[in-house]
Every structure is written in structure tokens, then in C-alpha cells.
Structure 1
């Protein structure tokens, strides 16, 4: 019989107690409105070329997309907020079109994370946060997605942390936040501890050049990648690679079954650690975000 590969495990050699209380309905029990225990699954954005007729019924008005989406998924990661703070009427519309249990994650504006990189951005940040607060109890994690920084931007992780730490201290404690970086050499216990001090999640991404959780044990600096009382996962893929195959996101074009099977094992450990899990599939991961989520669900059901 062919030997089975070892199950992926998070590196917990340097695990520290989680900061903050685990919210109710985050303790691994089945959520009334979720098909998985303590896990909320959705896609990055709720519209895309190719979704009409494959995910949304043919002829459906775009104004009805979000309402339909919320019948299939419990959460969405809003991508458009990265480009600009939405009008208040738009945010109120999102609230009105979704059920009480729906959760919106949102990207912080690029003016904060890319253009000004946390410096002299108080006006932009406060405007964004005040606008998103209109979602009330439906507002979930806010993601600070940083790009790759070369040495002309920051010489090293400590230089970046010297800017990040003071900003994190200003964040309201009653909201969830996550930080994503694209410099894999910065991923170490020191970086994780800086986030853990503020109960901010390190975004765990499945992306072309960044390590997945089960690969972090092979890194020179072992650390526990769980830095908050929740986990934030993004299935991103290889943007340039997949766009050589397709730019219409109507079907799966990259087989991610093996990768998602590894994620199932990682999520099982998340649940064992009483974490609330937010996970979002990008079209660039396999070709169709909704199909990726549904495949993960099927693989989860086989194991649980």
C-alpha cells in the first residue's frame, strides 16, 4: 500500500496564549447559519465576469446579486474598498440586502496601506472606518493588505514594525483586524508577537511565493502563525499564471484539490484551538471563487 503523506501541521513550538476572549459561537460549535463549525466561508468580492449563468441565475439584475449571494455564503470579503471608501448609501444598501447573520470583511484603502503606508493617513483611515461602521454587527475583520516592500521602502522587518506597531495601538479593540504581508522573510516570531500583542490576525494566504501554514515549519524561524482569537485565510493563487489560461471566471481551470485537502487539516486544528475562522476564495486561485468554496466544503465533509 502506498504510504500516505503526513498531515500538515501548524508549527506551535513558540505558541503563546491567545489574546482576548473567544467570542460566543467561536468555540467550534456548529453555527446556526453556517454549514461548518466555527468557520465562515465566502469569496473575494461578490461579482465577477463569468459568474452570471454559472453562479448567479441568467438575467438576474446586478442589484440583486448580493441578496442572492447571501443565500449561498455566510460572508464576503469586499475588495472594492481597497480602491476607495464606498459611499454611505452603498454601505447601507449592503446592510439592507443581507440577513442578520451575514458578515462583511473589507480591505483597508490602498491610500492607507500602499500610497502612504500608515503615515499621515488619519483622515483617510477615519473616513473609511466611520463608513464601514455603518454595517454595525455585520462588520467583520478589516484587512490591511500590504504589498511587497523592497529595501528602498524598508530595510528590514523591524523597520516596518516600527511603523506598524504605533498604528495598531490606535485601532479600536472592539473590531477585528488582520495584516497581510508579501515579504516572506519577515515572517518570524518577532513579527507574529507584534500582531499578537494587539490581537491582530496574521492573514494566512495561499499565494504563489508565500508559504502556506504547513510549509512554515520548514522556515528558518519557526513560529506560531496564529496571532489572534480568530484566523483569516485567503486563497489567492498565482495571478499572472492563471491569467495566461483565462480571464473569465466561470469555471475551475486549476486543480486545487490537493492544496485544499491540506487546508482542511489546517482548519481542523483551528477548530480544535477554538478559533473563529474567516476564509475567502479569489477567482485567481483556481478559476472560480464559488467553486473553490464548494470544493473545500466537500473535502471538509469527507474528513468530518
Structure 2
């Protein structure tokens, strides 16, 4: 059955002063939704109930006409765009990427949860204090070892506990996205896999966590292919976690990552499709310059779409949740990538 589900897999974002009321009125300005075609609602109705499609963040002015109507600043969208985003027929999830840069509080998570409907789910990145092996400068350059990397106490107190308390039932996938390891660390993969397993095992059992968030999944995403071994898959299984498919040029193509997921079958699917492989492992800035303002598909990746659609179909058909979020740098416009994925998944 596993071979039928994954057939291509190998074995292994000085004028006069205005009246006193103008400022509050500006602060209360709402983000208007785009006039979405009725066909999108029809399309959404044909998707599996356990499928949660969405984008990586939402604060992009270039989505005018796709998600919202009108010109808004990025800061305005960051503060007030989520509620409008969540009204879009196809957007049933979003990746909270900002959580990686600084741990969010229970109140911050709760503020996000209040803006979305009951069936909406959040995919949340663990903060770098626990998910990055290095303490880095603003430009990403590693400075020194991070003593909190894979620390069980930090994993709970800085991430899992506040996310669950704030998001409640709207917590979907909590993702430990492990940043690239330093070259010297790659020769000790068995050590890091053991550390990862110990961290996952120290968390409360998934069944207990699901008392607060029934659809919760704990997932691990990596940035080094050296992680993708049977021992890694075993550590995930024993820790009650799943593998997050990583759409990033630092990793093999999606189809070549499937052996890890097969080793965990049956189970949920989590995927964060972030960057088109044609830009290379360090191509974020090149992709951003090419794709701005993120309002059109520039580099459709049909092969990746097909792989993800096949896995999402199999996952939901088996009764598990599938969380798939897409970034603007995957094909040029995350909302249009989501629509393309939805059309593919709605086919018989």
C-alpha cells in the first residue's frame, strides 16, 4: 500500500493638522476582501475536509485583487490582514513564520486565534532559541553555538505550551524547523538525532496535547539532507512526531524526501513549500527580486504540485490531516499557488 501511495519515491512576509478624530479612524481602518469569484467557494467545497491549505504569512501588499482589495502597507496588513485573509474560500491555514525570530506570548497567539474561524488552523515555526544550532547575526551568519538547541525545557516553555494555550483548538502543526547545521556538526548526525529524539520524548504525549488541540501535529523540518536517514525517521516515530516536507533547494526534491514519510505511514502530512529549486540553496533574495510584488505565477513547478497532491490525497483519504502552506518564492505568488493546488486536489 505504501508503494502505491508514493510510487515515484526511491527506497530510500507643513499642512494643517487633521482633526483629532482622524488618527483613531485611520487606526480602525479595515482591510477589505477582494471580490473573489464564486467559483472559488465551489472549488473549496470539493476539497477534503481534513486538508488545510494556506500561505507562508500574509502581509503582502501585492496580493491586492487576490486576497484583499485596495492598497495597504505591509505593517497595516500584518496588524489587520489576517481576518480578511481567513475569509478567503481556500485559505484554511497560515504559517506563522515570525514565531521563529522571537518566541510569541500566549496573548499574541490568542490575538491571532481570535481573528480566524473555528475550522482555521495555524502552522507555527518553533523559535530559533530552540530550533537553530547557532546564534546568528542579523545577516544569518553563525557566531557561536546555541546552548538552547533542542533543549527539552525550552521546547515546551518557549514554544509548545504558549502556542497551545493561545491558539487552543486552532493549533494545527507545530514545526521545529531546524536551521542548517555548521559543517563541523554534520559529522555527528547520530548525536543530533539522539538529542532530537530526547527533546521530542520529553514533551507530553500527543494524545494529551490533543485534549487542547484535537488536530495537533508535531513536525520536524530540516535544512540538511544528512538528517534524512532511517534513524531520523525512527526518532520521529518514537517521539510522536512527523516529518515536515521541506520545499527548499537545500534539500532533495520533494519526491526524494518521501521515504522518510513512508517510514511514518500512516500519519499526517505537513509541508512548507518555500523556495523554487531553480534559485539554488541561497536564492531567497534572487527569487524575491524576480517575483515581487507576488501577484503572478512566474515559475510554475508542476512536478512538485503533483507530488504534493498525491501525498495530500492519500493522507486525507486515510483519515489524517494534511497541512500545506506555500511561500511566494515557490512559484511567484502564494495565493495563486494555493489555487493551483486546490484545482489539482479537487480533481477526481
Bin of the TM-score, shorter chain as denominator length? 0.7 to 0.9
1:220-299 equivalences in 2 (<5 Å)? 224-226=262-264, 229-238=267-276, 239-240=283-284, 241-299=286-344
Q: State how far apart, in whole Å, the 1-side matches of 2:268 and 2:261 are.
A: 17
Does 1 or 2 have the higher relative contact order (CA < 8 Å, sep 6+)?
A: 1
Cα distance between partner residues in 2 of 1:13 and 1:123? 35
Say whether 1:38 aligns with 2:70.
no
Give the aligned partner of residue 22 of structure 2.
none
Give yes or no for contact 2:56–2:326 (8 Å, CA) kept in 1: yes
CA distance in 1 between counterparts of 2:260 and 2:218 reads: 23
- SS of residue paired to 1:101: coil
Quote the RMSD (CA, aligned, Å): 3.0
C-alpha change, 1:222 and 1:96, in structure 2 (3 Å) is closer
Matched, 1:153 2:171: no
Q: 2:166 aligns with which of 134, 139, 156?
A: 134
Please report how far the alpha carbon of residue 138 of structure 1 lies from its aligned counterpart in structure 2 after TM superposition: 1.0
Residue 57 of structure 1: aligned partner: 69
CA 193–67 in structure 1, closer or farther in 2 if over 3 Å, else same? same
Pick closer, same or farther for the CA change 1:206–1:152 going to 2, 3 Å. Answer: same
1:49-69 Cα distance to aligned partner (Å, 9 max, x none): 422344211156634311111
Pair 1:195-2:236 in alignment: yes
**Separation in 1 of the partners of 2:198 and 2:64?**
44
Contact 2:152/2:198, CA 8 A, preserved across alignment: no
**3-state DSSP class of the match of 1:152?**
helix
Shift of 1:128: 3.2
Structure 1 counterpart SS, 2:346: helix
Indicate if the aligned counterparts of 2:48 and 2:316 stay in contact, CA closer than 8 A. Answer: no
TM-score between both structures, scaled by the size of structure 1: 0.80
What do residues 104-161 of structure 1 show as CA deviations (whole Å, max 9, x unaligned)? 1210001111143535573575033332222111112111111222332342321211
Spell out the pairing of 1:83-122 with structure 2 (5 A cutoff). Answer: 83-114=101-132, 115=135, 116=146, 118=149, 122=153
Q: Quick one: which of 43, 51, 71 aligns to 2:87? A: 71
Answer with 1 or 2: which has the greater Rg.
2
The question of whether the paired residues in 1 share the 8 Å contact of 2:100 and 2:126 is answered with: yes
Q: Distance in 2 between matches of 1:193 and 1:274?
A: 22
1:168 counterpart residue number:
200
Report the Cα distance in structure 2 between the residues aligned to 1:226 and 1:282, rounded to whole angstroms: 25
Point out where structure 1 has 5 or more consecutive residues left out of the alignment: 1-5, 15-31
Change (3 A) 1:200 1:123: closer
